[in-house]
Structure 1
């Protein structure tokens, strides 16, 4: 049984959630924003923020770590889904779109120095990507590779129109179109995808500070 937090511990945990939510909103909008902007959005003093996170880089690493943890959890859930592989894959991509972890990839890549733990988590995420792809590969049109998914998700999560409800609606609208385009049944006779797929080097080079 999980031990209940004391009043002070519970308040600290709530404050941390508020700080992280504020940091995500601030840095996804502008990775160059000062850490003071996070404190202002969170409604906490800058000294309180620094007691929890000693630097902007530490805060960015925490955001990235949380995003990777969520991505890994959704990937493991997809692999344990015993439904038809294509049905499970569609549910997996929808969950990733709602988790919005790729917004962090787009905006924070190259803005801080990753730790060995982050590289290890990224490696685990990559392994799971390949396992999900292998399980679903027979459903894809020729030419699609596992690295395509990262860019597709970035394209979908770059959509930000209206309020949160409208943004989610539009993201799922275009995800549905993407899924139809990826499925083998949607392939046009003799059609080839333009340009080569993204390489792993292209995807990882963005994380160089």
Structure 2
């Protein structure tokens, strides 16, 4: 049975929520310290309507991060479970991550709010898929042996930092840069990489931790 269309108030609330989240992403990726009033202004909704949905800025930031993590997890799970050439699945996964711009949430919002227990659990699940994908590629002899989970995070974050020209030009340049990274990630690699991959502790230090 098809879902019934939402009534007037529910439909308006859903539209407002979509506008709020789109505006919040734009505002906070540009300036994580921006006041929540800037989100309401860009979304074109009253501040009271925003607070009814998100009682605090932290609630809104957690929602943004949760949505970004959910999308990322969906993409990495798809790469792990896709049959066929593992390298093609890996490249497709990273291109989709760049297109979805999920790393911008990490690079700009890390440390600006306290993640919930559910968000930590979701991050652990995403991490497990990341490791499964890396193991699959290494078992197939397709990924450089020294590449670890943290390396991939830094690759996507560095690509997400590109912001030149308009939105379409930025997208084009990010995808171009990603292809350079993909060439460097593929086994066997010309020369050994210097240093070591970032540790879980180093990557996790950017985020606030739950108290207690």
TM norm structure 1: 0.95
TM-align CA RMSD: 1.1
Task: Determine the structure 2 residue equivalent to 1:194.
Answer: 194
Q: Quote how far apart the aligned CAs of 1:142 are.
A: 3.1
Three-state SS of the structure 2 residue aligned to 1:147 is helix
Task: Determine the structure 2 residue equivalent to 1:165.
Answer: 168
Cα distance per residue 1:174-208 (max 9 Å; x no partner) = 000000011115x22xx221221100111111002
Q: Quote how far apart the aligned CAs of 1:43 are.
A: 1.1
Q: Quote how far apart the aligned CAs of 1:10 are.
A: 1.4
Task: Determine the structure 2 residue equivalent to 1:143.
Answer: 146
Task: Determine the structure 2 residue equivalent to 1:100.
Answer: 101
Task: Determine the structure 2 residue equivalent to 1:40.
Answer: 41
Task: Determine the structure 2 residue equivalent to 1:208.
Answer: 208
Task: Determine the structure 1 residue equivalent to 2:158.
Answer: 155
Task: Determine the structure 1 residue equivalent to 2:21.
Answer: 20
Cα distance in 1, alignment partners of residues 84 and 6 from structure 2: 38
Task: Determine the structure 2 residue equivalent to 1:87.
Answer: 88
Cα distance in 1, alignment partners of residues 208 and 10 from structure 2: 36
Task: Determine the structure 2 residue equivalent to 1:116.
Answer: 117
Cα distance in 1, alignment partners of residues 197 and 204 from structure 2: 14
Point out where structure 2 has 5 or more consecutive residues left out of the alignment.
none
Q: Quote how far apart the aligned CAs of 1:7 are.
A: 2.3
Cα distance in 1, alignment partners of residues 204 and 76 from structure 2: 19
Cα distance per residue 1:24-62 (max 9 Å; x no partner) = 010001110100111111111111111111000100000
Cα distance in 2, alignment partners of residues 2 and 121 from structure 1: 28
Moved more, 135-144 or 108-117: 135-144
